[in-house]
Amino acid sequence: MHVSQVADGIYQLAINIENMLFEGLWEIPDGVSMNSYIVKGEKTAIIDGVCGWDGVPQNFFDMLKDLDIDPASIEYVILNHMEPDHTGWIEDLKKISKDFKVVCTKKAEPMLEAFFNHTENIMVVGDGDSLDLGGRTLQFAEIPNVHWPDTMATFDVETGTLFSCDAFGSYGKVDHGNYDDLLSEEDLQFYEKEAVRYYANIVAAFSMFVDKAIKKCASLPIKIIAPGHGVVWRKDPNRIIEDYKRYVQYQKGPARKEITVLWGSMYGMTESGVNHAVKCLEKEDDIKVNVVRVPQDSWGKILGHAWTSTGIVLAMPTYEYKMFPPMAAALEELGKKKVINRKVFRLGSYGWSGGAQRELDDINTRLKMNWDFVEPVEYKGAPTKEDLKRIETGVSALVEAVREAVK
Ligand code: FEO
């Protein structure tokens, strides 16, 4: 729990979340922060919040006490986005005050009732609307589907601060120094890795809308970006904007000069082929190689690596006439997140019958992934010397395809 000053009259209340799955699904080995913001004019507004985790609401009230703010004096609760990781303060405030207004988009209003049975004192706002806090003005810009359809961003005209909610956010715990001007380059690179994994897990499927949101926000004179998760950008907000522009592009590829080896094995036969492929890849100095295994590695990690990779080595055995089931599940997830146009080399072992390729073709077609395959290598049982040579050829073809795509 941290309180810090973002700019004149703007304060951040941040809580770190750890040892849980974000959205009940995504592994967060380095945690994630929930950032809420107080904006003080003659009237006080709070933008976004956190929900339901340890210590809420007491830590919320403690943070307000640090700022010498009486919770009952908060007149506006601005909900940029109804997902419950940002909306918890409403219920807490309701326990002590009945006078605050909730500010949200038209699409958020019915969700407000569904999630919190809250139907009164709602101010619906849309693109270009503003709110006068007395001495400072907040403007609103709808950025639908970043991440839910209801999402908007709030812009403080006086300081040029964009409260962007999920947009421009990242995983990773924060402390009092979670401002780009207070972080070292090494720290910023850590958060960049956390940002791209967050992007791949949370908003990747909506990349087209992220692109629109970036273009819409570009018309605002932004000086500070204050997201709902992760680092506040006040020295170089353009850095996270440019990062996000690249993440959008990665969906359709080409992404980075990277190859992710995504593999699963039952008795080590496919694993032998994978080890050989990895050995071949490691000789290619200009290509970064990521290795992830199903079902051992989390979907969050797999998605994060697949998102930044132009090439993928898929290695799995056939299992009862079909693909090794955890690989099929992972590929379905990659398809739903629209990881498309990748260069791919598949290898794998089978016992008495093949079948993995058939299911792979079906997933690729059904989910419109448009993956471009080099000649696959399948072998019965353990790989022979000849099979290993064919794997070398497949890896070389993939490397060349990646180099050609990322010129
Ligand atoms: Fe951070 Fe989509 O909520």
In a domain, 210, yes or no: yes
CA 212 – CA 385 distance, rounded (Å): 51
Looking at the fold, whether 135 and 213 belong to one and the same domain comes out as yes
Q: Could you tell me the pLDDT band of residue 92, with boundaries at 50, 70 and 90?
A: confident
Q: What is the CATH number of the domain that holds 64?
A: 3.60.15.10
Angle at 1 between CA 19 and CA 55, to 5 degrees: 70
pLDDT in tens, 132-147: 999 999 999 999 999 9
- Answer whether 13's CB lies under 8 Å from 37's CB: yes
Q: Is the pLDDT of residue 311 over 60?
A: yes
State residue 32's pLDDT score: 94
In a domain, 235, yes or no: yes
Looking at the fold, whether 244 and 265 belong to one and the same domain comes out as no
75 lines ligand 1 (CB under 6 A): no
Looking at the fold, whether 132 and 57 belong to one and the same domain comes out as yes
In a domain, 407, yes or no: no
From the CA of 229, give the closest atom in ligand 1.
Answer: 1
pLDDT in tens, 259-306: 999 999 999 999 999 999 999 999 999 999 999 999 999 999 999 999
Q: Which of 249, 276, 311 is the last residue of a domain?
A: 249
Domain span at residue 326 reads 259-402
CA 341 – CA 373 distance, rounded (Å): 10
Q: Across the strands, what pairs with 4?
A: 12
CA 187 – CA 29 distance, rounded (Å): 16
State residue 327's pLDDT score: 97
171 lines ligand 1 (CB under 6 A): no
Alpha helices in 104-184 (DSSP H): 108-116
Q: Which of 223, 249, 275 is the last residue of a domain?
A: 249
173 lines ligand 1 (CB under 6 A): no
Looking at the fold, whether 120 and 148 belong to one and the same domain comes out as yes
Looking at the fold, whether 288 and 392 belong to one and the same domain comes out as yes
From the CA of 169, give the closest atom in ligand 1.
Answer: 1
Number of domains in the chain: 2
- Across the range 212-220, mean pLDDT stands at 94
Looking at the fold, whether 267 and 356 belong to one and the same domain comes out as yes
85 lines ligand 1 (CB under 6 A): yes
> How much of the chain, in percent, has pLDDT values that exceed 90?
84
- Exposed (0-12), middle (13-18) or buried (19+): which is 185, by Cβ within 10 Å? exposed
The 8 Å CB, 24+ separation contacts for 153-157 are: 153/80, 153/213, 153/217, 154/47, 154/78, 154/80, 155/220, 155/222, 156/7, 156/10, 156/39, 157/130
State residue 53's pLDDT score: 61
Look-up: residue for tokens 């890795």?
193
State residue 175's pLDDT score: 83
Q: Is the pLDDT of residue 197 over 90?
A: yes
Q: 58 C-alpha to center of ligand 1: Å?
A: 22
Looking at the fold, whether 275 and 245 belong to one and the same domain comes out as no
Residue with CA closest to ligand 1 atom 3? 83
Q: Could you tell me the pLDDT band of residue 228, with boundaries at 50, 70 and 90?
A: very high
**Residue 104, helix vs strand vs coil:** strand
State residue 55's pLDDT score: 59
State residue 87's pLDDT score: 86
State residue 210's pLDDT score: 98
State residue 52's pLDDT score: 57
> How much of the chain, in percent, has pLDDT values that exceed 70?
98
State residue 241's pLDDT score: 97
Looking at the fold, whether 221 and 310 belong to one and the same domain comes out as no
How many residues does the structure list for the chain?
407
Q: 73 C-alpha to center of ligand 1: Å?
A: 26
Greater confidence, 404 or 50?
404
Quick one: which of 376, 263, 259, 391 has its CA closest to 315?
A: 263
Looking at the fold, whether 312 and 366 belong to one and the same domain comes out as yes
166 lines ligand 1 (CB under 6 A): yes
Q: Which of 249, 280, 312 is the last residue of a domain?
A: 249
- Answer whether 1's CB lies under 8 Å from 63's CB: yes
From the CA of 151, give the closest atom in ligand 1.
Answer: 2
3-state helix, strand, coil in the chain (%, to 5): 35, 25, 35
Core vs surface per residue 234-260: b (16+ CB within 10 A) or e: beebebbbebbeebbebbebbbbbbbb
Looking at the fold, whether 48 and 105 belong to one and the same domain comes out as yes
From the CA of 34, give the closest atom in ligand 1.
Answer: 1
CA 167 – CA 199 distance, rounded (Å): 9
Looking at the fold, whether 237 and 314 belong to one and the same domain comes out as no
In a domain, 254, yes or no: no
State residue 50's pLDDT score: 73
Looking at the fold, whether 282 and 201 belong to one and the same domain comes out as no
pTM, 2 dp: 0.95
- The pLDDT mean for the chain works out to 94
Angle at 25 between CA 23 and CA 28, to 5 degrees: 85
pLDDT in tens, 30-63: 999 999 999 999 999 999 987 656 556 677 788 8
State residue 66's pLDDT score: 87
State residue 144's pLDDT score: 97
In a domain, 207, yes or no: yes
Q: What is the CATH number of the domain that holds 267?
A: 3.40.50.360
In a domain, 153, yes or no: yes
